[in-house]
Amino acid sequence: MPPGDLENLTADAVGERPAARVSRVVERPRRGPWVEFWPPHDVEWNVARLAVAGLPAALEAVRIVHITDLHMRPAWRPGYDRLLERLKQEQPDLLLVTGDFVDNKRDPRPTLPFLYRLLEGFTARLGCFGILGNHDTYAMAPRLAGTNVRLITGKRELVPVDGATIELIGLEGVKRKQLTRSFVESLPPRETNSVRIVLSHFPDHLNRTRSLRPDLFLAGHTHGGQVCLPGGMPILRHDTLPRRLCTGVHQVDGTWLVVARGLGTTGLPIRAFCPPEVIEIRMKLVVA
């Protein structure tokens, strides 16, 4: 699968919930570079239309932008300017960030001016929400206070939209083991006339939260492999899900799993056959 394409899957569903279809990229993006040092120099903007069973009519026009793994370092890259310009042009309804705002776990302070400059351009009509990742640690939470991204790590947020509701659930923890069964069991039943979206840094938390039956499960962490084989197949997964599920858009047990490749890198500052990306999600009603 070439970088930039979202998979056209209809048969990955496991379980009894109705299968749905994700279209190809609606507007074929400008492909990112095959190899990048010190990314991002450019950011792919990939669009997926996802069919959701029982979708309220008021939510069919909602445009959700999923951004993950910024891994900001104390420098400004050209891709940030291009991303902010695209956000300004597109004016999404909802912007969701699934963690790893910074790369340096021990001392993010030199990075903060660059991070704040980027987050200043994160705007959306219904708000910008995010969770922490394993590179952030809980010490990042107070540093993000007052930015345009409202943290919902370990919280549930209801976003009203013309009589319907988008229910956001930010999974707790900055490490895999910190997600507890008690947190999952404490969440109330799904709202009526709503869509349930789970924000997780780790894709494999999908297995631990299936009882929530989310419509969308957004994740990052894998960087899509960061360094991949030609065609975009990840060499390293950084996750326990099957390799094919650690990047892209898939349907698993009736839930849309959306794993974005993210913006930055960790370790070596290189991406190969794995350009940075954000994914815009446009939901549509399942048609029988």
Domain 35-285 belongs in CATH node 3.10.20.600: no
Domain ranges of the chain: 35-285
Confidence band, pLDDT 50/70/90 cuts, at residue 32 = confident
Write down the pLDDT at residue 17.
Answer: 42
pLDDT at position 158 over 80: yes
d(CA 212, CA 220): 19
Q: What is the mean pLDDT of residues 87-109?
A: 97
pTM greater than 0.85 (yes/no):
yes
Contact 206, 257 (CB under 8 A): yes
Q: Residue 247: CB partners within 8 Å, gap ≥ 6?
A: 222, 224, 225, 232, 234, 259, 261, 274
Q: What is the mean pLDDT of residues 246-254?
A: 92
Confidence band, pLDDT 50/70/90 cuts, at residue 31 = confident
Q: What HEC string does 43-74 produce?
A: CEEEEEEEEECCCCHHHCCCEEEEECCCCECC
Name residue, tokens 């997926």. Answer: 48
